[in-house]
């Protein structure tokens, strides 16, 4: 029972394998199977929330930390599957396969948050990544969109390269320490063995993790893949894998005695570069997914800022921030995938007058964007505020000031979308019909965004306490 | 917590903050146009009536924060929900609650589309405005302060004039950019004092460098909001494009938040930096007064004219704050209220003429006196009040400020005098054009005079113009204790600390 959510996902993937064997699977069967397994995963994750176990010779830890992330992943998956249930961008005949790989990818992420050993990390990371590489080019090309092929190629090539770098770093770590267990590696590092080989090994391994989170030097895949993948796929790429990446990074960075200075400085530089690069590039984007991609790079920088303090509080805040970020992105992608008529990409101007065409979606999008911009009382503000506070406490004044300036830059491009939604003339664009269930899910997400922003104490305390158990 | 007079029983301030919000939530479910109007009027009126309880229960002799409420909110970061009013904020709260019903009345016919959404924004605005004035926890303050941008942005961006998109974005970006470093300053103060409780941050021993940095972060945020001279360019754009209710809220309440911030935060939290930097800020205020006056003189657009006059009037307020004596401070607080009453009323008047002629152009509105005698009577009184005619409210405020300035520095006071003259010049020009015009008046015979609703909207403003103008003592009594307490603490501070300021700037 301790790995119930993983088992549910695996069953789901197998079920879709069976469904995909038929010639043309019925679209409703596929849809409802997906919805069923999405909800089932969430429920299973909730049920196994209290489980504790160490499996497979200690490489697989089911602890409070992993279970918390599994609940978050399950929740996001359920929201995502309901919001994107029409899968407009995917041809009907491959939808069963699409869900097969989607669930496998989520399975990989669920395994990732439980992995505490390099090989296990590698296996689950690759399970998640390779399934994801396949989702990108599955986009329907009947509408004349061919860029998903290019995006898929780029994604797999860059991804494999990043994996290679990470593996190379891991091999060094193994060579230096003689173990693949994270715990022993961290003990070795905390003793202050800082020969150049250690630095190189840590940097390379981190590089692989940064690739998943899309932090600055490993960010370059983001814009093209976000734009090339179908709206639903991008919604997935932008949310759930980031949860896994943060979980992994924290596991990797947690050292009881604190970290060598070089790592702190590295993270600071990476954070600032991510924020500036992401925000400045997002300013000029016209495609909304591309813009959200760049904004994601900037937010990844903010999360790195939370990790920078290298203490339980900072890690807890990073978890809070990423959970909030996922919620806000889900709100945005819920709107994007439902406003898009036939799964085409949306330019920002395509959202013109959404307020008149579909007021509920306009409201959800506005809350999501204002939240991402960090305006109170939404979760984005609280996360930003607390991360800045903890970073300033750790004496990173310059970084904090630069981050604050970035907030001001970011508001412009978020606001330009809100401007289109609320002030621009629809200009003959048709009104948008949305299923009430999707609207309800959107309102739930909005509610969660406000609630987490207004009453963050419980969540942050819990996340902080959970991280403390890892120390 | 001996700085707070905890309110027993009904949590009055919390009620004032959240009643409009609760009213707004109702509007999410019932969209009927006439229902939305009536409902919003009822809610705002109820808030206004309730806020009178503040006056009746206010202890004039205490400088503590009264009607205070304190609850834990985020204990981990020592963030609490603490609210309270003192002499500095009470009048601003009352001003806010009393302005709002008239904003609703002024929008009765002016807003024709999406009425429910408009009223929703108004109510949410009211919540955040009251919140800003009563918050005693810096994070709570900042949340209200920032959140306010969203409804105000929507008010301008959806129901605004032709260049609404430009104006609303400019408003949002300016004010947000100004306040991001405020957040850093707040966190820095928290790390020094270990609490976000605002009074606990006051009169602490910070190094001068720290004070100056914090002061500059504060000043940038608040000076943009005021707006002080070089940061004022968002104001005319926003004022001109906003709907009448938006302009009134902007002029009457939002601008006050800047000066309130300077008074509440800069002075007591960074006293050394305030004294060090007071002189340049005083001269910036003078620049604002003169610049605002000259620019207003040249405007053809009535709203723009009043907007620039606001730059000048707010210059007087900052002048009064930074001369750092009791006359100046009391005058400044009173002048904040006066400006809220007078300029709010003038914007209402412009809105009424705009509803009839669909133009804010002075030339189109000239010579309406013949057909709208009631209207021009109101305009005349508010114009006189605007340039500080004796017997009206602004006279008291400006007189106190100028008296305080003379006490501080004669040259400075002399430099402010042209501003007062300019104010008379541009307001009389407006008045002359509107009432009589010239030989080339457009045909105004189609104009109907004010309706009962409009007279009801304007009459209370008239009442306050004369009440504050002829019998200001009750208002000054409300302010006095807190101001003298503030100055007393400032003097104590000065005596105990070697002040570099005087050496540097004289």
Give the CA count within 13 Å in the CB-facing half-sphere of B228: 24
In chain B, % of residues over pLDDT 90? 42
Contact with chain A for residue B26, Cβ under 8 A: no
Other Cβ atoms within 10 Å of B81 Cβ, number? 16
Cis peptide before A377 (omega within 30 of 0): yes
**How is A230-243 classified by DSSP, letter by letter?**
-HHHHHHHTTHHHH
- The mean per-residue pLDDT over the stretch A134-148 comes to 80
Q: How far apart are CA A202 and CA A220, in angstroms?
A: 21
Interface contact A376-B147, CB threshold 8 A? yes
Distances (CA, A) of A78 to A116, A292, A336, A452, B181: 26, 21, 17, 19, 38
Residue A401 C-alpha, separation from nearest chain B C-alpha, in angstroms: 7
Write out B360-394 in H/E/C secondary structure.
CECCCCCCHHHCCHHHHHHHHHHHHHHCCCCCCHH
Compute the Cα dihedral for A214, A220, A223, A226 and give only its sign. Answer: negative
Alpha helix positions (H), B82-137? 87-106, 115-134
Question: Closest by alpha carbon to B435, among B386, B384, B387, B376?
Answer: B376
A–B CB contacts, 8 A cutoff, strictly below? 80
Contact with chain B for residue A342, Cβ under 8 A: no
A189 pLDDT band, cuts 50/70/90, is confident
B504 pLDDT band, cuts 50/70/90, is low
The tokens for B211 are 């004070």
Placement of tokens 């009448």 in the chain: B244
Q: Whats the size of chain B, residue-wise? A: 506
Q: How far apart are CA A216 and CA A269, in angstroms?
A: 9
Distances (CA, A) of A462 to A40, A42, A61: 24, 19, 19
pLDDT at residue A257 in the model: 59
Q: Residues A339-391: pLDDT tens digits?
A: 888 878 888 888 888 888 888 888 999 999 999 988 888 998 989 988 888 88
Interface contact B157-A375, CB threshold 8 A? no
**How is A63-112 classified by DSSP, letter by letter?**
-HHHHHHHHHHHHHHHHHHHHTTT-TTB-GGGHHHHHHHHHHHHHHHHHH
Q: How far apart are CA B221 and CA B176, in angstroms?
A: 8
Residue B231 has pLDDT above 50, yes or no: yes
Question: Closest by alpha carbon to B217, among A269, A373, A392?
Answer: A392
Element (H, E) at B73: strand B65-74
Contact with chain B for residue A260, Cβ under 8 A: no
What mean pLDDT is reported for chain A? 87
Locate the domains of chain A by residue range: 4-470
- C-beta of residue A270 within 8 angstroms of C-beta of residue A215: yes
Total structural domains in chain B? 1
Interface contact A388-B187, CB threshold 8 A? yes
Distance of CA A189 to the CA centre of its chain: 28
Task: Tell me what ipTM this predicted complex has.
Answer: 0.86
- C-beta of residue B434 within 8 angstroms of C-beta of residue B379: yes
Q: Residues A386-439: pLDDT tens digits?
A: 888 888 888 888 888 888 888 888 888 898 888 888 888 888 888 888 888 888
- The mean per-residue pLDDT over the stretch B150-165 comes to 88
Q: Which residues contact A111 (CB under 8 A, 6 or more apart)?
A: A6, A60, A120, A123, A124, A127, A128
Q: Residues B61-118: pLDDT tens digits?
A: 888 888 888 888 888 888 889 999 988 899 999 999 999 999 999 888 888 888 888 9
Question: Closest by alpha carbon to B259, among B307, B227, B288?
Answer: B227
pLDDT at residue A409 in the model: 87
Interface contact B188-A370, CB threshold 8 A? no
Q: What are phi and psi of B485, to 5 degrees?
A: -60, -45
Nearest to A408 among B73, B142, B180 (CB): B180
* SS3 category, A57: coil
Q: pTM for the complete prediction?
A: 0.90
Nearest to A411 among B147, B154, B173 (CB): B173
Alpha helix positions (H), A229-358? 231-237, 240-253, 261-282, 288-308, 312-339, 354-357
Instruction: Tell me the sheet residues that pair with B66.
Output: B85
Q: Which residues of A touch B139 (CB under 8 A)?
A: 385
Residue B117 C-alpha, separation from nearest chain A C-alpha, in angstroms: 10
Placement of tokens 């814009």 in the chain: A223
Other Cβ atoms within 10 Å of B82 Cβ, number? 26
* SS3 category, B270: coil
Other Cβ atoms within 10 Å of B489 Cβ, number? 16
- C-beta of residue B131 within 8 angstroms of C-beta of residue B140: yes
Residue B502 has pLDDT above 60, yes or no: no
Q: How far apart are CA A139 and CA A94, in angstroms?
A: 9
* CA-based nearest residue in chain A for residue B186: A389
Q: What are phi and psi of A94, to 5 degrees?
A: -110, 10
Residue B209 has pLDDT above 60, yes or no: yes
Q: How far apart are CA B386 and CA A320, in angstroms?
A: 51
Contact with chain B for residue A376, Cβ under 8 A: yes
Q: How far apart are CA A303 and CA A215, in angstroms?
A: 9
Element (H, E) at B5: strand B4-6
A308-320 per-residue burial string, b: 16 or more CB within 10 A, e: under 16: bbbbbbbbbbbbb
Contact with chain A for residue B172, Cβ under 8 A: yes
Q: How far apart are CA A245 and CA A198, in angstroms?
A: 22
- The mean per-residue pLDDT over the stretch A90-112 comes to 88
Residue B206 C-alpha, separation from nearest chain A C-alpha, in angstroms: 17
Placement of tokens 């979980």 in the chain: A247
* CA-based nearest residue in chain A for residue B158: A423
User: Judging by DSSP bridges, how do beta strands B4-6 and B65-74 pair with one another?
Assistant: parallel
* CA-based nearest residue in chain B for residue A389: B187
Residue B270 C-alpha, separation from nearest chain A C-alpha, in angstroms: 19
Nearest to A393 among B75, B147, B191 (CB): B191
Q: Residues B322-370: pLDDT tens digits?
A: 998 888 999 999 999 999 999 999 999 998 888 888 888 888 888 888 8
Question: Closest by alpha carbon to A349, among A416, A399, A294, A410?
Answer: A416
B506 pLDDT band, cuts 50/70/90, is very low
Cis peptide before A414 (omega within 30 of 0): no
Residue from A370, A404, A425 to probe the interface with B (highest B Cβ count within 10 Å):
A404
Nearest to A376 among B73, B74, B146 (CB): B146
Q: Residues A443-463: pLDDT tens digits?
A: 999 999 999 888 888 888 888
- The domain of B161 spans 4-505
- The mean per-residue pLDDT over the stretch B308-332 comes to 91
Nearest to B169 among A401, A415, A464 (CB): A415
Interface contact A404-B184, CB threshold 8 A? yes
pLDDT at residue A193 in the model: 67
Q: How far apart are CA A393 and CA A311, in angstroms?
A: 11
- The mean per-residue pLDDT over the stretch A226-237 comes to 89
Contact with chain A for residue B183, Cβ under 8 A: yes
* CA-based nearest residue in chain B for residue A420: B165
Contact with chain A for residue B162, Cβ under 8 A: no
In chain A, % of residues over pLDDT 90? 26
Distances (CA, A) of B370 to A233, B39, B384, B438: 68, 37, 20, 12
Question: Closest by alpha carbon to A350, among A425, A273, A238?
Answer: A425
Contact with chain B for residue A414, Cβ under 8 A: no
What mean pLDDT is reported for chain B? 88
Instruction: Tell me the sheet residues that pair with B70.
Output: B82
Interface contact B74-A457, CB threshold 8 A? yes
- C-beta of residue A60 within 8 angstroms of C-beta of residue A54: yes
- C-beta of residue A336 within 8 angstroms of C-beta of residue A369: no
Q: Which residues contact B451 (CB under 8 A, 6 or more apart)?
A: none
Residue A75 C-alpha, separation from nearest chain B C-alpha, in angstroms: 25
Q: How far apart are CA B82 and CA B199, in angstroms?
A: 11
pLDDT at residue B498 in the model: 60
Element (H, E) at A442: helix A436-454
A171-194 per-residue burial string, b: 16 or more CB within 10 A, e: under 16: ebbeebbeebbbeebbebbeeeee
Q: How far apart are CA B349 and CA A270, in angstroms?
A: 55
Cis peptide before B108 (omega within 30 of 0): no
Q: How far apart are CA A405 and CA A387, in angstroms?
A: 15
Placement of tokens 């630095």 in the chain: A199
Q: Which residues of B touch A381 (CB under 8 A)?
A: 143, 146
Cis peptide before A36 (omega within 30 of 0): no
């Amino acid at each position: 029972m301790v790995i119930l959510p993983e088992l549910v996902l695996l069953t789901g993937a197998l079920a879709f394998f069976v469904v995909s064997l038929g010639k043309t699977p019925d679209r409703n069967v596929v849809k409802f199977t997906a919805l069923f397994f999405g909800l089932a995963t969430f429920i299973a994750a909730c049920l196994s929330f209290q489980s504790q176990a160490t499996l497979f010779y200690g490489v697989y830890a089911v602890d409070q930390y992993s279970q918390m992330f599994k609940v978050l992943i399950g929740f996001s998956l359920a929201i995502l599957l309901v919001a994107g249930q029409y899968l407009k961008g995917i041809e009907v005949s491959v939808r069963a396969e699409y869900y097969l790989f989607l669930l496998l990818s989520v399975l990989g992420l669920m395994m990732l948050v439980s992995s505490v050993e390099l090989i296990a990390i590698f296996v689950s990371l690759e399970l998640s990544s390779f399934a994801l590489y396949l989702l990108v080019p599955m986009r329907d090309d009947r509408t004349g969109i061919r860029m998903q092929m290019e995006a898929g190629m780029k994604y797999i090539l860059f991804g494999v390269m990043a994996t290679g770098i990470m593996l190379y770093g891991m091999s060094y770590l193994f060579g230096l320490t003689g173990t693949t267990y994270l715990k022993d590696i961290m003990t070795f590092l905390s003793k202050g063995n800082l020969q150049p080989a250690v630095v190189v090994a840590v940097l390379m391994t981190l590089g692989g993790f940064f690739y998943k989170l899309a932090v600055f030097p490993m960010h370059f895949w983001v814009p093209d893949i976000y734009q090339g993948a179908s709206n639903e796929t991008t919604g997935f790429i932008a949310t759930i894998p980031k949860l896994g990446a943060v979980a992994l990074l924290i596991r990797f960075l947690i050292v009881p005695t604190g970290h060598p200075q070089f790592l702190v400085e590295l993270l600071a530089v990476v954070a600032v570069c991510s924020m500036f690069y992401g925000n400045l590039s997002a300013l000029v984007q016209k495609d909304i997914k591309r813009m959200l991609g760049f904004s994601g790079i900037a937010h990844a920088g903010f999360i790195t800022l939370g990790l920078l303090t290298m203490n339980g509080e900072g890690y807890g805040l990073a978890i809070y921030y990423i959970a909030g970020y996922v919620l806000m992105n889900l709100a945005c992608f819920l709107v994007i995938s439902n406003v898009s008529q036939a799964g085409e990409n949306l330019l920002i101007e395509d959202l013109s007058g959404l307020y008149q065409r579909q007021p509920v979606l306009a409201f959800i999008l506005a809350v999501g964007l204002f939240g991402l911009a960090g305006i109170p009382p939404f979760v984005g503000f609280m996360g930003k505020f607390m991360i800045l506070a903890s970073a300033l406490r750790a004496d990173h004044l310059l970084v904090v000031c630069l981050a604050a300036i970035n907030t001001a830059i970011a508001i412009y491009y978020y606001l330009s979308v809100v401007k289109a939604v609320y002030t621009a003339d629809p200009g003959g664009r048709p009104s948008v019909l949305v299923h009430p269930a999707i609207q309800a899910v959107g309102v739930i997400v909005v509610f969660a965004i406000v609630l987490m922003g207004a009453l963050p104490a419980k969540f942050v305390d819990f996340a902080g306490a959970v991280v403390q158990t890892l120390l | 917590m001996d700085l707070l007079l905890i309110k027993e029983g009904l949590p009055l301030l919390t009620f004032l903050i959240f009643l409009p919000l609760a009213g707004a939530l109702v509007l999410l479910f019932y969209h009927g146009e006439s229902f939305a109007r009536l409902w919003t009027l009822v809610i705002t009126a109820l808030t206004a009536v309730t806020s009178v309880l503040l006056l009746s229960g206010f202890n004039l002799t205490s400088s503590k924060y009264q009607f205070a409420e304190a609850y834990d909110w985020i204990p981990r970061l020592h963030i609490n929900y603490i609210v309270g009013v003192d002499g500095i904020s009470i009048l601003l709260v009352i001003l806010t609650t009393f302005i709002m019903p008239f904003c609703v009345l002024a929008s009765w016919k002016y807003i024709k589309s999406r009425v429910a959404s408009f009223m929703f924004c108004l109510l949410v605005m009211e919540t955040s405005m009251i919140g800003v004035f009563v918050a005693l926890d810096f994070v709570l303050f900042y949340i209200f302060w920032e959140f306010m941008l969203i409804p105000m942005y929507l008010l301008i961006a959806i129901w605004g004039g032709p260049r609404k998109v430009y104006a609303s974005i400019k408003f949002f970006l300016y004010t947000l950019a100004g306040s991001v470093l405020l957040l850093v300053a707040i966190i820095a103060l928290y790390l020094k004092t270990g609490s976000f409780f605002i009074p606990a941050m006051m009169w602490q021993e910070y190094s001068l460098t720290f004070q100056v940095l914090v002061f500059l972060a504060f000043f940038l945020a608040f000076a943009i909001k005021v707006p002080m001279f070089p940061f004022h360019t968002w104001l005319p754009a926003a004022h001109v494009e906003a709907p009448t209710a938006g302009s009134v809220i902007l002029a009457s309440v939002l601008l006050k938040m800047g000066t309130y911030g300077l008074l509440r935060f800069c002075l007591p939290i960074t006293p050394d930096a305030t004294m060090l930097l007071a002189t340049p800020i005083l001269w910036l205020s003078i620049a604002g007064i003169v610049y605002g006056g000259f620019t207003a003189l040249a405007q053809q657009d009535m709203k723009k004219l009043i907007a620039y006059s606001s730059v000048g009037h707010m210059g007087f307020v900052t002048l009064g704050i930074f001369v750092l004596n009791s006359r100046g401070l009391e005058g400044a607080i009173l002048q904040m209220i006066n400006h809220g009453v007078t300029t709010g009323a003038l914007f209402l008047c412009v809105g009424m003429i705009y509803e009839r002629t669909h133009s804010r152009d002075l030339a189109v509105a000239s010579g309406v006196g013949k057909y709208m005698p009631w209207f021009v009577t109101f305009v005349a009184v508010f114009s006189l009040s605007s340039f500080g005619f004796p017997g009206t409210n602004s006279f008291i405020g400006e007189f106190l400020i100028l008296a305080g300035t003379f006490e501080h520095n004669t040259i400075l006071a002399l430099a402010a005098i042209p501003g007062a003259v300019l104010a008379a010049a541009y307001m009389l020009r407006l008045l002359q054009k509107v009432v009589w015009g010239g030989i080339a008046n457009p045909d105004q015979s189609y104009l109907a005079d004010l309706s009962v609703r409009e007279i009801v909207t304007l009459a209370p403003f008239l009442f306050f113009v004369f009440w504050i103008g002829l019998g200001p003592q009750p208002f000054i009594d409300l302010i006095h204790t807190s101001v003298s307490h503030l100055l007393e603490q400032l003097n104590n501070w000065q005596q105990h600390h070697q002040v570099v300021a005087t050496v540097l700037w004289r």
